[in-house]
Amino acid sequence: MKCLRFTIIIIILICVCLSTACKPSPEVVAATSAAETAAAASPTPPPTDTPSPTPLPTDTPTPVPTDTPTPTDTSTPTKTPLPTHPPTITPTPGPFSFMDDFSTNSGGWEDCDLCSWEHGVLVMGPFPPSSHFHRNYCTGCGERNYYRMAVDGTFIDGQVDRFFGIVFGDSGGTAFYLGISPWQFYIVGEYHQDGDWWEVVDFQWSGAVNASYATNHFEVTAQPGSMAGTVDYYLSLNGSTVYVIYGRPAVAARVGLAMDWHAVTVNYDNWEYVELEP
Residue 167 counted as domain residue? yes
Establish if 116 belongs to a structural domain: yes
Structurally, the chain folds into a number of domains equal to 1
Range of lowest pLDDT (42-46, 130-134, 182-186, 268-272): 42-46
Note the pLDDT tens digit of each residue in 60-95: 555 555 555 555 555 565 665 565 555 555 555 679
Residue 68 lies in a domain: no
Q: How many CA atoms lie within 13 Å of 72's alpha carbon, on the beta-carbon side?
A: 3
122 within some domain: yes
Residue 69 domain-assigned?
Answer: no
259 inside domain: yes
Task: Write down the pLDDT at residue 262.
Answer: 87
Residue 164 pLDDT > 80: yes
3-class secondary structure for 33-79?
A: HHHHHHHHHCCCCCCCCCCCCCCCCCCCCCCCCCCCCCCCCCCCCCC
Would the pLDDT of 56 be above 70?
A: no
pLDDT in tens, 110-123: 978 889 999 999 99
Stated as kind and residue range, the H or E segment containing 260 is: strand 254-260
CATH number at residue 120: 2.60.120.200
* pLDDT tens-digit map of 199-252: 999 999 999 999 999 999 999 999 999 999 999 999 999 999 999 999 999 999
Q: Is residue 36's pLDDT more than 60?
A: no
- Domain containing 152 equals 97-217+252-275
Domain for residue 211, yes or no? yes
Identify whether 195 is part of a domain.
yes
What is the DSSP code (8-state) at residue 253? B
The DSSP result for 102-153, as a single string, is -SS--S-B---TTEEEETTEEEE-PPPTT--EEEEEBTTT--BSSEEEEEEE
Q: What is the tens place of the pLDDT at every residue in 221-236?
A: 999 999 999 999 999 9
Counting Cα atoms < 13 Å in the Cβ hemisphere of 194 gives 0
Contact 184, 197 (CB under 8 A): no
Beta bridge partners of 99: 272
Rounded to 5 degrees, φ, ψ at 9 are -60, -40
Rounded Cα distance between 179 and 175, Å, is: 13
